[in-house]
Every structure is written in structure tokens, then in C-alpha cells.
């Protein structure tokens, strides 16, 4: 990684003290600093070289919410496929490791690309103006090179997929296109959360593929393309979960977005957000129920996955103060654990009951 000084500019002074220069500032930070503001330096990362910090901030390494939000759907797909195929534990572990590695690099590449495209807009928003590219800690050229390395890392697991590189790449292609377009969506439409939901929920598809399951099957007879309806329901339900939590996240910057001209569901709905998201939550619950019915899943899935996800999201919608940036961040950064963890634990419990580990 190119070296940077403590103030984020090119070069490095060998006399820089070991104590990280952001240590005191991070302790005093109360506003957007802990909300992916861009220049926060958590204590867990302060043992690493100062020159790495802008790059770690760029990929949102800590807290790891971004990585886990991408990995959760992949895990859903792996577990769902394992239950239906009665797969042995070694296949589940192998696919999970493969998906976690791919998610790590894909998360990095996606965030770098997003910040690279959004840098002119981020510079105009209080919460994001101190991100590495807007504040000049990383040049656009360096960010693009870094993005390319992470994209290569994300593509590497495709060569290890059981269906082969070409088939796996074709399944990954819609997500690649959607992720590349996402930063532009907030300029073209008020529905960037729907685009993000599609991209992240596509991880379910890749998790299924990692377990040798093909959600789409092409036949030369009269049936043509056969689509696995249970997987479609799980993907759609996961996508609506993403839409809900990212709409809450978007309310952190509502006033700035209105001023700058950034579009989002938060901008579109404003005072009607909760009224609209409650029916979306109901639809999400229905899709998860249908996914379980079509897959023949049992009570662990319905009680933990469907029930836990619905209750946790319902609690968020009930309690979050959309006019308070800190409240939006707290419910986003904590609520995803409850919802994603509920769906994952329910599927894992179902695996334990139905699959011989």
C-alpha cells in the first residue's frame, strides 16, 4: 500500500510516533465519526501501521458490519442448499469458507468503488466529507488500483467453485453489474436501496452455487428455463431486509442529501418512511414463510429465522428515531446482527436436525 503521513498526505515520516495520531480525536468523537464517517480509527486497529489506516477506513474494515452484511446472504444460501441436499458437514464448511473469503474481497472492492464514484458527493456531506478520498488521504488513481486488487481477490474463489469457473462467473455476473451501477443509482432514481438489496441478496444465489445447486436450469425440451421458487423467495425476502435497514441508514444524511441532490428512499418517503416500511416488512415475512414451505423446512426455521427476523426488524421500525442520526446508526449497526443472526441460526438449527453432521 502507498504510504501516507499521519495527516493523510503522500509520504511518510520515519519519526512519526507509534501512538496513532487519531487516538485522542477518536475518543472525543461523538457525532458521525463512529458511523462510517471515514476518519475514525477504532482502538482495535491502532496497532497496525499508520500508513494503512486510510485504506482500512476505505474498505470499512471495522466495525465489520459491511463484511457480515454481505456474508450473511451467502451463508443463507449455503445452509439452505445443505438442508435440501442433505449435504455432509465437510461440504458446508468448505462452501462457507469459500463464501467468506469471496465476501471479504467483494466487500472491499464494492466499498472502494462506491467511495471512488461518490467522492464529489461525499465531500459535500458532513458525515462523509472526511472519508479517505474526499479528504485527500488516498488519490483516485490509488483507490482504483486498490479496487482492482480486491476485485481480483473476489474473483479468485469462483475458480474454486464446484460448478467450475465459467458457470460460477455467469451466476456472479448480475451482481457484478448491479454493484458497479449502485453508486450511480442515487443519481438516477430514488430507489438505490432496491439496487443494493438486489446486490446483497444475490449472495444467496452464490451460496447455493457453492453447494453445487443451480437456481436456474436450462433445458432443451419444452420446459425451457426452470427456476427454483424456494430460492427466489429466499432471495427476495433477503433483499427486502436490506431495503429496510438501508433506508434507516440513509436517514442519517437526509438533510444533506436534500441539499446536495442525492436520491434515496429516505428522500422520497421522508415523513412517511415507517408507514411504507411496515408493509414491506410484512411482505418480507411472507416471502420467508413461502421459502420455508417450498423447501419443506421445520419449526426451527419458522420460529427462529422467520419469527426472529420479523420481530427484530419490527422492533427497529418501532423504536428508531429517524430524525436522529445516532439512533439510525445504532439500530442499523446493531439490528443487522439480530435479523441476520436469526435467519442464519434458524437455518443452522434446521441443518442440525435434518443433516447428519
pLDDT at 243 (0 to 100): 94
Report pLDDT digits (tens) over 186-238.
888 888 999 999 999 999 999 999 998 888 777 666 566 788 899 999 999 99
277: Cα separation from own chain's centroid? 19
Q: Which of 343, 77, 92 is nearest to 204 (CA)?
A: 77
Picking from 78, 79, 14, the residue whose alpha carbon sits closest to that of residue 49 is 14
| Interval 122-135 mean pLDDT | 81
Residue 25 has pLDDT above 70, yes or no: no
- Grid cell of 40 as nine digits: 475514525
pLDDT band at 176 (very low <50, low <70, confident <90, very high): very high
Span 262-314, pLDDT tens digits: 888 888 888 899 999 999 999 999 999 999 999 888 898 999 999 999 999 99
How far is the C-alpha of 199 from the C-alpha of 180, rounded, in Å? 10
**CA nearest neighbour of 243 among 198, 176, 290:** 198
Question: Which of the two residues, 352 and 343, has the higher pLDDT score?
Answer: 343
Higher pLDDT, 293 or 355: 293
Domain boundaries, the chain: 52-354
Give the class (CATH, top level) of 52-354: mainly alpha
Cβ–Cβ under 8 Å, residues 207 and 103 = no
- Answer yes or no: is pLDDT of 9 > 80: no
Q: What is the pLDDT of residue 113?
A: 92
Highest mean pLDDT, choosing among 52-61, 126-135, 180-189: 180-189
Q: Mean of the per-residue pLDDT values for the chain?
A: 83
Burial class of 348 by CB neighbour count within 10 A (0 to 12, 13 to 18, 19+): buried
Q: Is the pLDDT of residue 148 over 60?
A: yes
Nearest to 127 by CA among 30, 54, 7: 30
Cβ neighbour number for residue 155 with a 10 Å cutoff: 18
Over residues 49-72, the pLDDT tens digits come to: 777 788 888 888 777 778 888 999
pLDDT value at position 26?
A: 40
pLDDT at 292: 92
More confident residue, 19 or 40: 40
Find out whether 254 and 261 touch, Cβ atoms under 8 Å.
no
Please list, in sequence order, all residues whose beta carbon lies within 8 angstroms of the beta carbon of residue 205, skipping any fewer than 6 positions away: 77, 171, 175, 215, 231, 235
Does the pLDDT of residue 350 top 50, yes or no?
Answer: yes
Amino acid at each position: 500500500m502507498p504510504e501516507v503521513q499521519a495527516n493523510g498526505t503522500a509520504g511518510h515520516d520515519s519519526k512519526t510516533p507509534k501512538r496513532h495520531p487519531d487516538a485522542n480525536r477518536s475518543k472525543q468523537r461523538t457525532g458521525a465519526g463512529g458511523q462510517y464517517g471515514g476518519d475514525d480509527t477504532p482502538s482495535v486497529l491502532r496497532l497496525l501501521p499508520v500508513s494503512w489506516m486510510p485504506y482500512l477506513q476505505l474498505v470499512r474494515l471495522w466495525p465489520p458490519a459491511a463484511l457480515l452484511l454481505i456474508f450473511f446472504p451467502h451463508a443463507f444460501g449455503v445452509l439452505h442448499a445443505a438442508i435440501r441436499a442433505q449435504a455432509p458437514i465437510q461440504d458446508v464448511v468448505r462452501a462457507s469458507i469459500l463464501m467468506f473469503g469471496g465476501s471479504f474481497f467483494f466487500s472491499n472492492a464494492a466499498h472502494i468503488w462506491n467511495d471512488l464514484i461518490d467522492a464529489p458527493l461525499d465531500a459535500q456531506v458532513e458525515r462523509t466529507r472526511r472519508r479517505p478520498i474526499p479528504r485527500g488521504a488516498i488519490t483516485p488513481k490509488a483507490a482504483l488500483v486498490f479496487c482492482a486488487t480486491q476485485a481480483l481477490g473476489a474473483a479468485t474463489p469462483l475458480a474454486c467453485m464446484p460448478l467450475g469457473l465459467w458457470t460460477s462467473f455467469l451466476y456472479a455476473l448480475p451482481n457484478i453489474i448491479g454493484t458497479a451501477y449502485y453508486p450511480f443509482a442515487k443519481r438516477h432514481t430514488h430507489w438505490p436501496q432496491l439496487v443494493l438489496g438486489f446486490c446483497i441478496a444475490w449472495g444467496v444465489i452464490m451460496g447455493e452455487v457453492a453447494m453445487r445447486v443451480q437456481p436456474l436450469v436450462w433445458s432443451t425440451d419444452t420446459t425451457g428455463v426452470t427456476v427454483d421458487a424456494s430460492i427466489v423467495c429466499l432471495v427476495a425476502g433477503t433483499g427486502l431486509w436490506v431495503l429496510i435497514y438501508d433506508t434507516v441508514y440513509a436517514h442519517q444524511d437526509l438533510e444533506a442529501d436534500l441539499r446536495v441532490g442525492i436520491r434515496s428512499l429516505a428522500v422520497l418517503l421522508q415523513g412517511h418512511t415507517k408507514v411504507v416500511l411496515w408493509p414491506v416488512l410484512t411482505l418480507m415475512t411472507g416471502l420467508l414463510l413461502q421459502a420455508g414451505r417450498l423447501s419443506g423446512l421445520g419449526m426451527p426455521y419458522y420460529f427462529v429465522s422467520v419469527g426472529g427476523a420479523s420481530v427484530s426488524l419490527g422492533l427497529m421500525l418501532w423504536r428508531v428515531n429517524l430524525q436522529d442520526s445516532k439512533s439510525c446508526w445504532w439500530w442499523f449497526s446493531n439490528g443487522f446482527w439480530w435479523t441476520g443472526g436469526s435467519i442464519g441460526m434458524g437455518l443452522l438449527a434446521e441443518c442440525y436436525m435434518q443433516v447428519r453432521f
